[in-house]
Amino acid sequence: MIRFDEVSKRYPGGHEALKQVSFELEKGEMAFLTGRSGAGKSTLLKLIMLTEALNQGQILVGGRNINRLPSRQIPYYRRRIGVVFQDHQLLFDRSVFDNVMLPLQIEGFDKHEAARRVRAALDKVGLLDKEKLNPITLSGGEQQRVGIARAVVNRPQILLADEPTGNLDPELAAEIMVLFEQFNQVGVCMLIASHDLSLITRLKHRMLTLDLGRLIKDEHQPSRARSPS
């Protein structure tokens, strides 16, 4: 589903944020991306989102070389990918419902179908009863759930998350991970950047570790590793 072949990224000024990174995530796989601050986690996610461009190598998503996509196709490509941020980037001038509706509005969805999907997404994250509230009145954990509902409302095949639990206490962080596992169980391919090792090692999914831009470890943790084919 996502394949990196010898991918390198150098920022203007010469800093090499990723160095010859190669890995493959299969359809429906869930993996954590970890490493110290500055290791290149956010950069790797930005390359998948095409908000930064690579300098060397290639990235295939769903079999297509995304760096060869014509620019007019990039918005359509991005719609297949949901993104969850640490600071959830919600709009505080509108309701929870309208925040989650936003991606569907941009896509020009039929109003009734869109409303149905928004409620289904809010139901999945346990916030159906809060749809009319302004997100500013919600707790940090609830705001992050609104961000997750917005990321999944157009049913992406891939969900990327950049430190999604960075601002949450351990209990809420664990709840957010349970939600991610539920999306993964219905086939969404997930890549979650997190430096919270105590949380992610407990969850026993695949773990990719970056250090100074290099992929230094790719561990399939025993209890959930796929059986060899």
Ligand X SMILES: Nc1ncnc2c1ncn2[C@@H]1O[C@H](COP(=O)(O)OP(=O)(O)OP(=O)(O)O)[C@@H](O)[C@H]1O
- For residues 154 and 130, give the distance between their C-alpha atoms in angstroms, rounded to a whole number: 20
Question: Count residues contacting ligand X (CB under 6 A)?
Answer: 13
The footprint of ligand X on residues 186-225 (CB under 6 A) is: 195
CB of 62 to ligand X, least distance (A): 24
Q: Is 92 in the site for ligand X (CB under 6 A)?
A: no
Q: What is the phi/psi pair of residue 172, to 5°?
A: -65, -35
The sign one gets for the Cα dihedral 226, 227, 228, 229 is negative
Residues 202/32, Cβ–Cβ less than 8 Å: no
Rg, C-alpha atoms of the chain: 18
Burial (Cβ within 10 Å: 0-12, 13-18, ≥19) of residue 84: buried
Q: Is 38 in the site for ligand X (CB under 6 A)?
A: yes
* Between 40 and 57, CB nearer to ligand X: 40
Of these, 29, 30, 42, 131, which contacts ligand X (CB under 6 A)?
42
Of these, 30, 31, 40, 131, which contacts ligand X (CB under 6 A)?
40
Secondary structure E strands in 11-44: 16-25, 30-34
Of these, 2, 17, 48, 100, which contacts ligand X (CB under 6 A)?
17
Of these, 7, 25, 31, 43, which contacts ligand X (CB under 6 A)?
43
Of these, 6, 15, 27, 204, which contacts ligand X (CB under 6 A)?
15
The residues of the shown chain that bind ligand X, judged by CB under 6 A, are 11, 13, 15, 17, 35, 37-43, 195
